[in-house]
Amino acid sequence: MPILSVPFTYEATVRYKRKRSTSIDCFRAEIPVEIAEVSAQDAPVAFRVKDQWARPVDQTYRWRDSKLWAKALLREKPVTLEVFVASLDGTSHELNPTSRHSDRILERELDIQEVHHTDREEVERKVRSAASEMMFVDGVQWDVVEEPFLAADMERDYPSVRVIEGSDRRPAFQSFRLDELDLIKELHAERIGRAKGFREPDLIEILIPEAVQHRFEPELLLATAREVSRTMADRLALLDAPYFVAFAGLRDETYALEHKLRTDPFASLGELSLKLREALQQITTDRTKHDLGGAWFEEEKLRALARVDRYVGEIELGTLDMKP
């Protein structure tokens, strides 16, 4: 493991000989700390997000000791922990009252008679704690992140996916946690409805291709996210990957039938609406079979059925816009 010498500052309450007074002064010290260093194989990729609109560069996260580590992007400066060094006058001397040697020299140079209190040990603990939140993967520095979320951002002119670190900035209704998932989620450009889910321990990969900006159903991404977040624990425990594929396929068929109802004036209304209702009913049956109930899905189903009824009514009245 590489050794990093970390300078830091700390406060000490000292009594001076000639001054005959006690004051709180700031002193400087250094401490060697070890930084974990592993190969890419020992720290597998947790998930990767690529979205040229929301983020100009790829952002990758890795697993290490059950923690998520995020590469420090766009940072060229050397590896340091300078946050513990204050730019204050009088910090050029080191005061170490616990040292076995040099105490007399330091006391003579600094005119110190007695050290009443120092927070050096506390600062040293903070330095070591900060060092534990860093690691090198094949020589590249990585820092641990806090509570990452994948968020679907629908406020722009195009849908985008971004990673949010820390719960304070999390849009609660458009995101879900990633640090406990054991699922690889592949989101494809024009057929996101066929997102596949399968088990792969300690690995999550979310790929957002560039073509995601073209005709995109925001509800589908959000529904997929919500579905995964609700069912990951029991579905993955049962290795029930086929359910994810079937569910995504039925949703895709549902949207395709709705689109045909809207755009094909020669479509058989009875046949198409029946197929659509059967697809929705099949999803409901699957959810009951897998014990995946929830008010959210019932609302989605009712909204979908209402859209079908509205499309059928508009076609019968001749008021439906036939433009694709």
As a whole number of angstroms, the distance between CA 46 and CA 35 comes to: 21
Confidence class of residue 255 from pLDDT cuts 50, 70 and 90?
low
Here the tokens at position 294 are 């929830």
Q: What is the mean pLDDT of residues 96-116?
A: 51
Q: What is the mean pLDDT of residues 98-112?
A: 48
Question: What integer pLDDT is reported at residue 155 of this predicted model?
Answer: 47
Among the listed residues 145, 37, 118, 130, the one whose alpha carbon sits nearest the alpha carbon of residue 82: 130
Report the C-alpha dihedral over residues 54, 59, 62, 66, rounded to 10 degrees: -30
pTM: 0.44
Q: What is the mean pLDDT of residues 214-237?
A: 40
Cβ neighbours for 63, distance < 8 A, ≥ 6 positions apart: 43, 44, 45, 46, 69, 202, 203
In angstroms, the first-to-last Cα distance of the chain is: 61
For residue range 272-324, list pLDDT tens digits in order. Answer: 556 656 655 665 565 555 444 444 445 555 565 565 556 556 555 655 454 43
As a whole number of angstroms, the distance between CA 255 and CA 251 comes to: 6
197 vs 246: which has the higher pLDDT: 246
As a whole number of angstroms, the distance between CA 1 and CA 57 comes to: 29
For residue range 68-101, list pLDDT tens digits in order. Answer: 788 765 444 445 554 444 433 333 445 444 433 3
Q: What number of other Cβ atoms are within 10 A of residue 304's Cβ?
A: 21
Beta bridge partners of 28: 9
| pLDDT for residue 4 is more than 50 | yes
Question: What integer pLDDT is reported at residue 286 of this predicted model?
Answer: 55
Confidence class of residue 252 from pLDDT cuts 50, 70 and 90?
low
200 vs 52: which has the higher pLDDT: 52
Q: Choose from 22-36, 248-262, 269-283 the range with maximum mean pLDDT.
A: 22-36
Q: What is the mean pLDDT of residues 131-149?
A: 79
Main-chain dihedrals φ then ψ at residue 105, nearest 5 degrees? -65, -45
Cβ neighbours for 254, distance < 8 A, ≥ 6 positions apart: 276, 279, 280, 283, 304
| pLDDT for residue 124 is more than 70 | yes
Look over the chain and give the mean of its residue pLDDT values, rounded to a whole number: 57
241 vs 5: which has the higher pLDDT: 5
Here the tokens at position 317 are 């009245």
Here the tokens at position 37 are 């260093």
210 vs 169: which has the higher pLDDT: 169
